[in-house]
Structure 1
Amino acid sequence: MVLAVVDAAGDAILLDLNVDLNGGAYSVLVNNKSWLNSGPYAFHFNDQWYSSSDGSLSLVASAVNSGEDILGVYKETALTWLADSNFVIVTTFKSYFPEPILIFSQYFLQELQNTSVGSNTEVVSSFPTFKIEPSNFHYYSYYNTFATPQIGKWGPGTSYTGGAQGGVPLVLFDPSLSTLVISPLDNFMVGIQTISAHLNQFSCGLQGKIASIPASFSHSTIITASTGVANAHHYWGGLLTKFYGKNPKNVNDDFTVKYLGYWTDNGAYYYYNTEIGKTYDQTMVDVYKYITSINLPVRYYQYDSWWYYKGNTKGLLLWEPMPSVFRDGIAALQKKMGDAPVVLHNRWFENDTYYYTKMGFPFVAEDDVGYAIPLTIDPFIYLMQKAKSWGLLVYEQDWLVDQFLRMESTQNNVHVAKNWMLNMDKAALTIGLNIQLCMPLPSHILQSAAMYSVTQIRASDDYQRQIYNKNQWAIGYTSILHHSLGVFPFKDCFWSSNETQSGCVQKDCREPNSVLETLSALLSTGPVGPADKIGFLDKGNLLSCTSSNGELLKPDVPAQTMDLAFSTGFTTGPTLFNLSSTYSGHFYEDEDGNSREVYWHYVLAADTLIPFSVQLQDLGEELNGKFLFFDYFDTNTQLEPFDIGHPLNIPPLFPDTSQVSFKYYILFPIVSSGYSLIGERDKFAVASRQRFGNIVHSADGTMKVDVFGQHGEQVTISLYYQPTSLIEQYTCSIPISGSSVLTCSTSPAHSCHC
């Protein structure tokens, strides 16, 4: 008998599941076509494999039920398996209606011992298991530190790499961009997806170093479907955060995401580097005085790993400022710096960390590698509570990959790594702090779906000058993942000036792509953290990102790789193209009183090598949409139409030795026969919600635009006047209320005023 799960439809896509109740075979169908066919059920314990393929795992019962949970109404098929006469494992399939969601779960009724196969690229439990068959699909996934994007063809011989270091989520898509997303739903730190060496098939389950599985333990995998690679990510990520009750973060949730900061992490001028003959105390006060002298509205400071005590492996001994660095402590220093709050860095715990050896907090210490990991919330509460009194806003947990992969206890136990992450989160919630995750594996990023204090995650490798690390700014791919899970991607620090900054300690002392670095940071919607030497901050470049009080004027969502980049790969072969877009949306009411949201689009292309033709639908616009666009950095740019008959044609962009070749386009909507808002031309996000509010056109031709800012701030606004096809500029002086209204009339003579 075949159980046909009710079709689940969403975004014009059908996701079906067929299950054979007699033998257990199953298949996943997308739009009525088979995409994935099952392999064997397989579990490793008592130092041997039990599999449905050789009869050592027997199907003894099946049942079909229905129910409802936080994700919706579902039908559930349960299959009961018997191994070694007395070990019972239950596997279940849930199919939701009307949503395109499938959940596969493994339930372990008894404790299973001796499960390890010794490798974290292998599984000890495989369900679901899928054959890797010839297809016309491409895959897309993330691997290793900072979730480096992976792309390729799906089928026998695929380049896909899974295991504890990555491969989650796995995204499969066809030329029409019908898309599946597959990932763990729980146990993110030890639940993996891999091409099993034992089965030679795609396997989802617990990783191969797990030593034992407790009784009543379960593990689940989720499969979702949508149209478009980015949209499929967003749908999947929304389900994960909904499952764990985490709301997507907004800019008001994190001061360091909302305002401009100054950073000292790897790549910064003052990373393990002070002014000549001065201490860090003196250097940071000098940085503050310099920033104040040029009226740059920096609102907080980040201090990296150079300020606290470290041990033999360079891990954390004591999270207190060394007197040689900050003689009187961080709180005293911040008093000299206008009481500016701080972001503070931390790294892995040393095996003889003070919190274990002196304070007695429970840790697992592994002396052979010199690492330790806390088992309770207590050390996090202790150090975060103390640091909050210094002005701490964001706890930056760095070196996540090393803390996890260099230890055995994080990988051979189903609870240790998860509890480490969740205890960190609970402590931050208790103390009232936010967390930035740094050097994450994809598993850490997925774990953030259940971490309510995580507001931001590093989306790039450590910053270096572009002559050595040309793609560090290119975070459009990883930003899809971060945004899907409701957190802000952080591009890392950068130099805002392209001048030579002599005395730097790392390779080249000049950043030839400072504008692109700054632009990428702003478009990320995450923290913007310049890190130049005293005397070298490019104020004009940085003020393109902010209002007069340092509030970041940013798009609504992070710039993310466009679906056009993914679909083009079916012509060129799977390729990572740096083509991303984002937008600012505003409420608009037309002359007839009809209201809708209208969008300003921002498109960034860099080192693409081939031309791209961007159509209305590539930006999610209706085919009757009418826009004008211009090249932001081209001083000779002309306004060009963007509509159904006029695409945005981006030329091939070729890099040279040190300079990235890029284009940044602004597309603004034509909503009236009179005035249309372009925005604030000297800001990268010309029409940010932080600057502009509702737009209303009246029947008499009058247009009103809400304008926000700081008391006394002069906001210069560009408008397009259709009867003359000219750009006009008007300046609003913001009153003490913080808001003004730009009013434009078309008769008897056209004019605007605030």
Structure 2
Amino acid sequence: MPGVFVQEGWDTYIIGNSKYKFKIDVLKDSGEFLIHFDGKTWLSSGYLLHKAGKWYSNMEKSHNPYVNATYIADNFEVEQSEDRNGEFTSLHFILKDRDSRQSIVAYEIRVYHNLPVVLFSIVHLTEVEKPQALYEHTIIDAPLYLKIKQNKDMKAFTYTSHAWIKPIFLDLQKALSETIMASSFFSIFDRTGRTLIFSAFDNLGNQLYTITQKDNDFYVICGLEGLIEKIPVGSRITEVLIFGSEFEQAIENWGTFLRTHYNKILDENLDLINKLSYWTDCGSYYYYRTIPEKDYSDTLIALSEDLKRKGINVRLVELGPWWYSKDPSAGAKAYEPVPEIKLNLNELAQEIGFLILQMSWFNLENEYTKRFSFIKEKIAFPRDYEIYDYLGGRFREYGATAVVHDHLTQIRSSMRHHLMDNFSILSNWLKSMAEHFRRYMIRIILSMPDTYHLFSSLQTNNIVASRTGEDYGTSASQSYSLWQNIYTSQLALALGLFPHFGVFFTLHPTYNGEPTNENGNLGRINPEVDALARVLTFSIVGFGDAICTTNV
């Protein structure tokens, strides 16, 4: 048990790892605990449950401004075992209702022997009926309820929870103006660079964090989002804590641990990453536009020939949302080519290269309802995931090698009662779609994802990349766009996804004096900086120039 220790005192259990310089002091009466790292006390934590409009916790009411009733701790046990991550020592205890002594959850603190890693898990011993807070961002079941004292030497970093995802920097010396709805990733670091990273470890499609402040204390609630209808007996929810002597080391350790646990691989041999691609997505020149008096087939063939004359061999071409039949809301009626594409898509692919096809949500009256079952809220959502086996076969016939699944945040929002009321529905949907497409060697790129989608992608190696910033040429400046993309790409890479900044132009973004984007922001963009940023972050490099304007 190298470095790992468990000590029992008069009123505490102490578990830690001297090799990685951390320990956790657990109070025997409540199960509340303190986390120490490198000789410094960083924060305290406990368990929090929202039920029937009240908050229950094992943290003392004086420590917690929101708690209505408290739990007590009992039945402490120490266990040594191993899992796929290595050998570990665990401290187990039961949290009970203080008045009735009914057992509520089993709590585990798991310390790995050869990793700077701790897992905090709860297993429900009683069913929690209708815990709904009615608001997605009210966390209802939190294995970790962190309390951090205001401190001029401490800062924190996280990400927004929903698309477009952005980094959030917090100065823990300054007051918060409002509650922050964050992703299930939270880091805290001091002036020396020492870092603690907390994140979701399981139930990846249902976890969020919220950050609040009262008086001089910050509270971070880590757990299940507030739309869950029922927490069954035996449900396990786990958070992970990673220690590092500096932020870069901590986030590398965090990403490696998660990818190893889920067998997620960053495949650096992917053509998507190693080869140039041409895109007709939002922000590109040929987004819902063709060469005058030509259809899309003629336009893309002419473009391909122009690039070949310049010595640019592009063999991956993305077709934006213009390629398939849809209603005005952008919902797909059928993933069949629109009449404006003269050639069969497979014939087009033979002329210009493998295709990357964009897809979105299903229209309520889509053509597939005759063959497959759908759940209908604001949009139609497949009840039968076999539809993706059918679509995978069709896309392969078209000559596709990848799809961009767009508008993921709108799908989650429009189907929130189905996707968010139950455990793992969102995660299982993404995994099932990816595995069906994998049978046809079609990779998936996420677009407009929430952090639910990014974390859930750990469960499959067929989701390979994700958009990390807003559409090219919007009202945001280039500096903001690069700032957003670079920080979010750090999250994507840690989770086993290659970043995709979106399309860009290689030359001044106008053609024959005609603006390429209605927002008029593209004239302030430096193409060389755009290209360099993509290469340095292992991003997909996809450009969208007008014909005859590519900067070689």
Shared fold (TM-score, shorter chain, > 0.5): yes
Distance 1:350 1:111 in 2: 37
Mapped pair 1:216 → 2:234: yes
Cα 1:154–1:497 shift into 2, 3 Å: same
What is the aligned counterpart of 1:104 among 120, 135, 143?
120
The question of whether the paired residues in 2 share the 8 Å contact of 1:152 and 1:160 is answered with no
Cα deviation for residue 386 of structure 1 reads 1.1
The question of whether the paired residues in 1 share the 8 Å contact of 2:355 and 2:399 is answered with yes
Distance 2:327 2:154 in 1: 48
What is the aligned counterpart of 1:381 among 389, 405, 414?
389
Q: Map of 1:333-732 to 2, 5 A cutoff?
A: 333-337=348-352, 340-355=353-368, 357-361=369-373, 363-366=374-377, 370-408=378-416, 409-464=418-473, 468-474=477-483, 475-498=485-508, 500-501=510-511, 502-503=513-514, 504-508=516-520, 510=523, 512-539=525-552
Distance 1:256 1:6 in 2: 43
Cα deviation for residue 220 of structure 1 reads 0.4
Please tell me the residue identity of whatever aligns with 1:97: H
Distance 2:129 2:523 in 1: 57
The question of whether the paired residues in 2 share the 8 Å contact of 1:375 and 1:420 is answered with no
Instruction: Identify the residue that residue 291 of structure 1 maps to in structure 2.
Output: 307
Cα 1:466–1:210 shift into 2, 3 Å: closer
Instruction: Identify the residue that residue 3 of structure 1 maps to in structure 2.
Output: 13
Cα deviation for residue 60 of structure 1 reads 4.3
Cα 1:417–1:447 shift into 2, 3 Å: same
Instruction: Identify the residue that residue 89 of structure 1 maps to in structure 2.
Output: 105
Cα 1:243–1:160 shift into 2, 3 Å: farther
Cα 1:240–1:316 shift into 2, 3 Å: same
Question: Scaled by the length of structure 1, what TM-score is found?
Answer: 0.66
Please tell me the residue identity of whatever aligns with 1:344: L
Query: Rg bigger for which structure?
Result: 1
The question of whether the paired residues in 2 share the 8 Å contact of 1:46 and 1:114 is answered with yes
Instruction: Identify the residue that residue 6 of structure 2 maps to in structure 1.
Output: none
3-state SS, counterpart of residue 119 of structure 1? coil
Instruction: Identify the residue that residue 326 of structure 1 maps to in structure 2.
Output: 341
Distance 1:56 1:22 in 2: 11
Instruction: Identify the residue that residue 745 of structure 1 maps to in structure 2.
Output: none
Distance 1:447 1:495 in 2: 32
Mapped pair 1:43 → 2:58: no
Cα deviation for residue 42 of structure 1 reads 2.5
The question of whether the paired residues in 2 share the 8 Å contact of 1:302 and 1:344 is answered with yes
Instruction: Identify the residue that residue 634 of structure 1 maps to in structure 2.
Output: none
58-67 or 279-288, which moves further after superposition?
A: 58-67
Cα 1:56–1:454 shift into 2, 3 Å: same
Distance 2:178 2:548 in 1: 47
3-state SS, counterpart of residue 63 of structure 1? strand
Distance 2:142 2:258 in 1: 21
Distance 2:79 2:379 in 1: 47
Cα 1:271–1:9 shift into 2, 3 Å: farther
Cα 1:196–1:45 shift into 2, 3 Å: farther
Q: Map of 1:65-214 to 2, 5 A cutoff?
A: 65-83=79-97, 88-135=104-151, 136-143=153-160, 144-154=162-172, 157-158=175-176, 162-163=180-181, 166-195=182-211, 201-214=219-232
Distance 2:379 2:344 in 1: 27
The question of whether the paired residues in 2 share the 8 Å contact of 1:465 and 1:510 is answered with no
Mapped pair 1:30 → 2:44: no
Mapped pair 1:263 → 2:279: yes
Cα 1:132–1:405 shift into 2, 3 Å: farther
3-state SS, counterpart of residue 127 of structure 1? strand
Please tell me the residue identity of whatever aligns with 1:18: D
The question of whether the paired residues in 1 share the 8 Å contact of 2:150 and 2:218 is answered with no
Distance 2:413 2:184 in 1: 16
Distance 2:178 2:212 in 1: 12
Cα 1:6–1:335 shift into 2, 3 Å: closer
Distance 1:160 1:169 in 2: 19
Distance 1:237 1:22 in 2: 35
Distance 1:412 1:36 in 2: 32
The question of whether the paired residues in 2 share the 8 Å contact of 1:38 and 1:128 is answered with yes
Distance 1:373 1:217 in 2: 26
Question: Scaled by the length of structure 2, what TM-score is found?
Answer: 0.89
3-state SS, counterpart of residue 230 of structure 2? coil
The question of whether the paired residues in 2 share the 8 Å contact of 1:146 and 1:440 is answered with yes
RMSD between superposed Cα atoms in Å: 2.4
Distance 1:263 1:200 in 2: 44
The question of whether the paired residues in 2 share the 8 Å contact of 1:162 and 1:168 is answered with no
Instruction: Identify the residue that residue 230 of structure 1 maps to in structure 2.
Output: 248
The question of whether the paired residues in 2 share the 8 Å contact of 1:153 and 1:159 is answered with no
3-state SS, counterpart of residue 81 of structure 2? strand
Instruction: Identify the residue that residue 587 of structure 1 maps to in structure 2.
Output: none
